[in-house]
Structure 1
């Protein structure tokens, strides 16, 4: 068990709020450093925050003091709040940590998440492989939106029968950790059902960025879907949801553990902290 969870067992909940806050911040900082190291280990040459850097838990938006402009690859004009969303997502990437974008419906979660893929290509020359997992009903929409907003990103629409999918997998380049602009495809778009059905193939890839749309689909940590997607090797994970995620503590923990397993390691301890 990691240090953050070991420290939890020694917490004195009778101490004052300030002391508890300092202990919680220290545990979270430990988990953050663990996440950063995993991101560094994923592939070399990708810039992340210096090891001496610390997260400002009172003002997370100030992490790294980034102020990036809209990527030139993006074929639209982001609204002010969407550009702030992109900066936040870019900050998370630079920190080597994952996140949940929980804007309400209609505010452009799709274009914000696509814009961070454009940012990775334009700023870091990382063109994938990227993975988008979405409900079957929005597969075509994601395919069209990526092609519309970032025409330079080549999309592989991974659906169809087993024979069709087998042919598609022949184009998967498992040797390259970081794709370049000339690769046959950059983004794989598939459904939750197919991601689970073909999990053995998805697990063999090292995905640079994985986006889960309608992330409430993995709210059960006991489901095969949650377990399969958690086993995918990826540098960063982004969950998108326009649905309130606090339906129950177990569902909330399932999502938090998915994005930062080292911090939200134990469901029982998570419940104790909130009780």
Structure 2
């Protein structure tokens, strides 16, 4: 694995580049952009998937979102869906500059909100030739409608009213910026199972990382998140093949099934019975199932003949 940086406009992005063991530096390998979940950093699920894809012969780039982790951007701890989609495009830009990558054979794999961001990026960037989502989350729909998708979009209104009050307090009263947690710091009997498991993943030695602070800026993030729809116009704009992997016991499964139902291009939905949302972050049985589906999917769909690298 190589640590790398690459530009995203004025922001310097930080990534980990995972390379196949038998890398030929001028062979034009297929490559995958790996997009981490909301609240995560590259060293967690993204690096795990990138390393396993490299074992299958792919060049794989895991990176920290702008405004998060080791990447630049201020204010830090901002979850901006529109910026995160642009991050995916910047990662593709970087892969296309590498001699070891065929610029016509690039795919994207995203975990949780990273899955939604990957889909949204692919809809307007056809350099991404194939997409895999794992435990996909459409972050805007999830925030508006709740983890199980049972609320109406109007359920967001009280939160937006509170946001307006907080913004006023910060702008005119000198209040400190407010932060919200990505996952519950103290789950209770009403916390969905997936989010209890998310607490265990992010806030215990299981996968805890000092760059994953379990916080995002309230006023600057929520207004962007609530108006974002990762799947808007997916019926018409997503022309690339998509593989959708999710657990049969995941409360987030409705977002994967919705995506599968709406996509009109080549598509496959793999529901792994018994799996929860968080199982696909690091539980070997479920990660291996996802990779066992994703590797041949990418091998099939990233099949353009290698580019001529003689002049590169």
By the TM > 0.5 criterion, same fold?
no
Q: Which has the higher helix share?
A: 1
TM-score, structure 1 length as denominator?
0.27
Q: Which has the higher strand share?
A: 2
